Amino acid sequence: MKTKPTAIKLDDIGHILVDHFKHRENINCYIGSNAATPTASIEALTDAIKEESAKLPFMKMFHILLHGNIPYLEEGLQDRVKAYSIFSGEAVRKAANEGRAYYLPCTLGTMDRLIGKGCAYEMDVVIMKVRQNEMTGEYSLGLSVDAIHSALETAGVVIAELDPTMPFTQGQSVIAGEDIDYIIEAGVQPVYTFNPPDFENLSPEEKRIGELIAGHFLKDGMTLQVGIGKIPDAVVGVIGSAGFKDLGVQTELYSDGLMFLQEKGIITNKMKKINTGYSTTSLIMGSKKLYDYVHMRSQVQMRPSVYTNSAEKVRDCAPFLSVNTAIGVDLSGNVWADFVNPTTYYSGVGGQPDFVRALSHKKYGTPIIAMKSLAGNGKSKIVPAHPSGITLTASAYDGVVVVTEYGIADLRDLPTGFKGLALAGISHPRYREALMKTIYNDPMMTKPKGFSLDKIPPGVILYDGKTAI
């Protein structure tokens, strides 16, 4: 039985795929993603694709967030290769908006329905990064497990970059040598690192949002999921100085902020009913300090996204607090995060819908959509109606809590008109009057008995702290 992968060079990738798939017209390739993007292999494979004499099949490239150079997105290559992105960064976003890449809408927790065995896009090839444990000979997927296990299930060719800059993480990131066909050591580029959050210099708006969430929803022993970005960082920063204890983590993404809380002993995972004693995540992304922290650390363990984002597993960790952000919310309570408008794709739905729907009942916890009241262009993020034709990450029938720097709008259990009033009540003052008038003039937005524009709407808790903006 084969137990060791065959060593190859980057330049061999194209030849290997031609040899394995010479009778195929097209093949599906899963690319390891996020901080563990295998950039060197992506570049080598693109060079092979450009060599028309190589006679590679048409390549369909499946991935979530990729970092670094992605040359197969270049104009003129789409008759030989096409990206199918489930979550995108700047380069793929640009290509998708120009018609040179596909956006494949799917939550992180349900990716196996697309690329799993017997599904529409069974994988033929997997290209990823690994780190080896020199004592045991095992390999670790390190920073990105996501849906790789589903891809490995059907892949006929598995190529791995052996990267010593990647941490050896524990849990379901550990695979055996026989799971890898070919391994590359020379010319591998290091994993991607990012600056840690600056908790000392949060904006007043971010600090207010953090205070509102920590002050009204967080309790000792709760389990956390926090997304990436300045708003989730602000929540973590406030938690770090608020005296909470014995918090747990079940998240799709483990970042510097969660490490900060775990280092301080605020996150202990003692109270979790499953995976007691360790944080569970499918992705890790952040600073070198973070990567050093998770290396060989059993208190942080990797699981596939289908596990970390599973409604059953999230509910098993109740009471649960989920914090994500959005591009916008409309007065009916619809939320969107992957499109700016119908012709401008931005990123992807990520895992937001997974956690929103897992926490649909209050007994399990609270799904929070946290965002500043204004977009970068100064326009309100709370608008009368969502742009027609875009994807929604939470619908009006999903029970979410929206938090801005002006307060909390708990939309759970509210009828339509009440939802609108609550959201208008925490909008930016510059737009609040116009939003209130929209509700007032719309007969379908049924108002509460005794409605008055000068009353605090049902479901609203206004900010009453000391942080000025």
Is 252 among the residues known to form the active site? yes
CATH code of residue 90 = 3.40.1080.10
Residue 312 burial by Cβ neighbours in a 10 Å radius (0-12, 13-18, 19+): exposed
Mean pLDDT of 115-123: 95
Same domain, 134 and 247: no
pLDDT in tens, 296-348: 999 999 999 999 999 999 999 999 999 999 999 999 999 999 999 888 999 99
Question: Residue 19 CB: number of other CB atoms within 10 A?
Answer: 10
Q: What is the pTM of this model?
A: 0.95
- The answer to whether position 114 is within a domain reads yes
Domain boundary among 151, 184, 217: 184
* Same-domain pairing of 121 and 222: no
Shared domain for 236 and 362, answered yes or no, is yes
- Residue for token pair 């190859």: 8
Give residue 259's pLDDT: 96
Q: How does pLDDT run across 135-185, given as a tens digit for each residue?
A: 999 999 999 999 999 999 999 999 999 999 999 999 999 999 999 999 999
In a domain, 189, yes or no: no
User: What residues make up the domain containing 264?
Assistant: 199-462
Residue holding tokens 């295998």? Answer: 38
**Are 96 and 173 part of one and the same domain?**
yes
* Mean pLDDT of all residues in 23-41: 97
Q: Residues 252, 263, 405, 433: which is the catalytic one? A: 252
When divided into structural domains, the chain yields a total of: 2
Residue 76: which pLDDT band, with cuts at 50, 70 and 90? Answer: very high
- Mark whether 297 and 221 lie in a shared domain: yes
- The tally of CA atoms less than 13 A away on the side-chain side of residue 233 is 17
Residue 364 domain-assigned? yes
Please report whether residue 469 resides in a domain.
no
How many of the other CB atoms lie within 10 Å of CB of 292?
12
Provide the CATH number for the domain around residue 393.
Answer: 3.40.1080.20
Report which of residues 427 and 237 the model is more confident about.
Answer: 427
pLDDT at 1: 44
Instruction: Please indicate, yes or no, whether residues 227 and 165 belong to a single structural domain of this protein.
Output: no
